[in-house]
Chains A and B, each alone.
Chain A
Amino acid sequence: MEMRAYYAECLGKLMEEDRHVCLLDADLGKASGTLGLRKTFPDRIFDCGIAEQNMASIAAGLSSYGFKPWIESFAPFATRRICDQIAISVAYAEQNVKIVGTDPGIAAELNGGTHMSIEDIGVIRSIPGVVIVEPADSVQLRAAMPVINEYRGCVYVRLFRKELPDIFPEDYRFDLFKADVLREGKDLSVFVTGFLTKDALDAAEELAGEGIDCEIINIHTIKPIDAETVKRSAKKTGAVLTVENHNVIGGLRSAVLEALAEERIPVFGVGVQDRFGEVGKLPYLREALGLNRENIIKQAKLAVSSR
């Protein structure tokens, strides 16, 4: 089942349980997988048309009345396009609005460079008070949704729409502010977010065969980052690799570097190397931008040898 289907299922459940939960989108209900919910909740789902700025501020107005609005669009339009509305109508005003940006980074595939958000984490991360979550699989997404809904404040969810392999066990418990250690190791700390988590785990298997013992930590919440876990692991291993579907400037690597600013530990980064995306299917884009297992292995070795 696709991630968007799980997302819609979770949202439907939240709407069923709480009459204050509502959903707004900007002509992307089909793409987000939530079109089907409109029949069940016709009075609490609003298609604002192609007007994302208005959508964000309307959500703030609904929140001022005690509603718990979720807004959704493709990641670039849910973030960089409405950055000021998120900053002022939502974050500054302390409104309780949840933002879902779908197809982040290279997941935009055939929509190409214009739709490829490689800067959304950076843009949102610099707005005070906004929490940023990027789920790595459907188990984590399903565990996170009710927690995010209950959290009072603005949360940006970076949602991969298509199917992803399961990583977390069914009994997984999500803590919004605590990173998940997926594999313990002593040679290298790999901090990874989103769909690349599976690649990081696969890379760790292969590196283990070559005598490199990786610690894999899933950073589902990029802001506020679990600095305690990051520091503890980095101090233990003495070398760090960050892995993200985002520019290496402003995203996970920056967040990890900030957490480790006072440590003398090398931090290598797999991510988009400060360039725009381009059109193509995922295998091509992973190869072209170095967002794959092979590059994780290569960068991991460089990080370990730089200790």
Chain B
Amino acid sequence: MKTDLEQICRDIRCDIVTSIGHLGVGHIGGCLSVVELLAVLYFEEMNIDPKDPAKAGRDRFVCSKGHAGPAVYAALANRGYFDKKELLTLNQGGTHLPSHCDARLTPGIDMTTGSLGQGFSCAVGAALASKLEGDGAVIYTLIGDGESQEGQIWEAAMFASAKKLDNLIAFTDFNKLQLDGPVEEINDISPLDEKWAAFGWNVIEVEDGNDCEQVSAAVKHARTGIGSGKPTMVILNTKKGCGIKWIEDLGSGNHNVNVNEEQARAAVLEIRGEA
């Protein structure tokens, strides 16, 4: 399974850079950092059916850091939700794949996100709904480290633990960088693990959030928290821009990057180890 996941990650990365390169610009840094998580969720863990994206009782994934839309689309296309050719329509007028996730437009997108902090609360609402329905679904959600500066994140964190929503498994893409610079310098969110624990959550920290095996193990560990009466936060220590060296090297400059088709083709070779 390890080999499969790594291959899937390479495919997803190639599709991210190809779709963004085709358009010429995109939120590539924060897309590349979450690839391993998407591969584990969509290919290993989630109870979903690409042929029936709205299936009742399915597990759901809410990408609260909505600008990672291109990464989610690449994962969905690889999982068979829609034709990979559609990825080249990213952000073009009339597309089903807008920069930020939109549940009205894209099969497999469970929640519309983009205004930071809100998707996390929406995921909490879905976890509450799942408890009311008793359908046994797991609600997965991903927030950014910069997004964790939003007050709404902590309103929702408080509510989820107060209501014992243990069917909620959240991830922080802790890549340490935000648009204007290092998170630590802009408005430090540390100690992140202690904050979540203090809010009444199970906390799991993954040393390398861009290692499939570690992420896979962490998600399995997180699932053991179902029944604990507590929601679970998995902190993924990731690299923004992971997998493409020149993008990674841009540091906080890699939030929204101009990428041309030639650079995209070179990146594909780099990701495939053929450079």
- Flag if B111 contacts A54 (CB, 8 Å): no
- Flag if A64 contacts B125 (CB, 8 Å): yes
- Flag if B129 contacts A61 (CB, 8 Å): yes
Would you call A278 an interface residue if the criterion is a C-beta within 8 Å of the partner chain's C-beta atoms? Answer: no
What 8 pairs between A and B have smallest CB-CB spacing?
A61-B125, A57-B121, A65-B129, A54-B155, A93-B112, A58-B125, A51-B155, A61-B122
Closest to A85 in B: B118
Q: Which of B102, B130, B159 contacts A65 (CB 8 A)?
A: B130
- Flag if B129 contacts A88 (CB, 8 Å): no
Residues of B within 8 A of A174 (CB): none
Other A-B pairs, 4, CB within 8 Å; known A61-B126, A84-B118: A51-B159, A54-B156, A60-B111, A92-B112
- Flag if B159 contacts A54 (CB, 8 Å): yes
17 A-B residue contacts at CB 8 Å? A49-B159, A51-B159, A56-B121, A57-B121, A57-B122, A57-B156, A60-B111, A61-B128, A62-B125, A62-B126, A64-B103, A64-B122, A64-B126, A67-B132, A87-B115, A92-B112, A93-B102
Closest to B127 in A: A61
Residues of A within 8 A of B121 (CB): 53-54, 56-58, 60-61, 85, 89
- In the bound complex, how far is the Cα of B155 from the Cα of A56, in angstroms? 12
Given A54-B121, A67-B132: A88 and B112 within 8 A (CB)? yes
- Flag if B155 contacts A53 (CB, 8 Å): yes
Q: Which of B104, B114, B125, B130 contacts A88 (CB 8 A)?
A: B114
- In the bound complex, how far is the Cα of B163 from the Cα of A46, in angstroms? 9
Shortest A254–chain B CB gap in Å is 26
Would you call A235 an interface residue if the criterion is a C-beta within 8 Å of the partner chain's C-beta atoms? Answer: no
- In the bound complex, how far is the Cα of B117 from the Cα of A51, in angstroms? 13
- In the bound complex, how far is the Cα of B62 from the Cα of A60, in angstroms? 12
Given A48-B159, A51-B159, A54-B159: A60 and B129 within 8 A (CB)? no
**Residue of A44, A60, A66, A87 contacting most chain B CB atoms (<10 Å):** A60
Would you call A304 an interface residue if the criterion is a C-beta within 8 Å of the partner chain's C-beta atoms? Answer: no
Residues of A within 8 A of B151 (CB): 53
**Residue of B62, B104, B126, B163 contacting most chain A CB atoms (<10 Å):** B126
Given A61-B124, A64-B122: A93 and B155 within 8 A (CB)? no
- In the bound complex, how far is the Cα of B117 from the Cα of A88, in angstroms? 11
Shortest B225–chain A CB gap in Å is 20
Would you call B14 an interface residue if the criterion is a C-beta within 8 Å of the partner chain's C-beta atoms? Answer: no
Shortest A259–chain B CB gap in Å is 29
Which residues of chain A (200-221) have a CB below 8 Å from chain B? Answer: none
- In the bound complex, how far is the Cα of B155 from the Cα of A22, in angstroms? 20
Task: Count residues of chain B with CB under 8 A from any CB of chain A.
Answer: 33
- Majority-rule SS of B interface residues: helix
- In the bound complex, how far is the Cα of B103 from the Cα of A68, in angstroms? 18
Residues of B within 8 A of A57 (CB): 117-122, 124-125, 152, 156
Residues of B within 8 A of A63 (CB): 125
- The residues of B with any CB-CB pair to A shorter than 8 Å are 62, 102-104, 110-112, 114-115, 117-130, 132-133, 151-152, 155-156, 158-159, 162-163
- Flag if A67 contacts B118 (CB, 8 Å): no
- Flag if B115 contacts A64 (CB, 8 Å): no
Task: Count residues of chain A with CB under 8 A from any CB of chain B.
Answer: 29
- Flag if B103 contacts A54 (CB, 8 Å): no
Would you call A17 an interface residue if the criterion is a C-beta within 8 Å of the partner chain's C-beta atoms? Answer: no
- Flag if B156 contacts A46 (CB, 8 Å): no
- In the bound complex, how far is the Cα of B159 from the Cα of A51, in angstroms? 9
- In the bound complex, how far is the Cα of B123 from the Cα of A65, in angstroms? 10
- The residues of A with any CB-CB pair to B shorter than 8 Å are 22, 43-44, 46, 48-49, 51, 53-54, 56-67, 84-85, 87-89, 92-94
Residues of B within 8 A of A61 (CB): 62, 111, 121-129
- In the bound complex, how far is the Cα of B121 from the Cα of A64, in angstroms? 12
- Flag if B158 contacts A49 (CB, 8 Å): yes
Closest to A63 in B: B125
Shortest B138–chain A CB gap in Å is 14
Residues of A within 8 A of B103 (CB): 64, 93
Residues of B within 8 A of A92 (CB): 112
- Flag if B132 contacts A51 (CB, 8 Å): no
Residues of B within 8 A of A88 (CB): 112, 114-115, 118
- In the bound complex, how far is the Cα of B125 from the Cα of A57, in angstroms? 7
- In the bound complex, how far is the Cα of B152 from the Cα of A160, in angstroms? 29
Q: Which of B62, B132, B155, B162 contacts A43 (CB 8 A)?
A: B132
**Residue of A44, A62, A66 contacting most chain B CB atoms (<10 Å):** A62
Closest to B126 in A: A61
- Flag if B132 contacts A58 (CB, 8 Å): no
Shortest A21–chain B CB gap in Å is 12
Closest to A44 in B: B132
Shortest A283–chain B CB gap in Å is 38
- In the bound complex, how far is the Cα of B158 from the Cα of A272, in angstroms? 39
Residues of A within 8 A of B130 (CB): 65
- Flag if B155 contacts A89 (CB, 8 Å): no
Residues of B within 8 A of A94 (CB): 104
- Flag if A62 contacts B129 (CB, 8 Å): yes
Residues of A within 8 A of B104 (CB): 93-94
- In the bound complex, how far is the Cα of B151 from the Cα of A87, in angstroms? 18
- In the bound complex, how far is the Cα of B125 from the Cα of A62, in angstroms? 5
Residues of A within 8 A of B162 (CB): 49
Q: Which of B112, B115, B152 contacts A54 (CB 8 A)?
A: B152
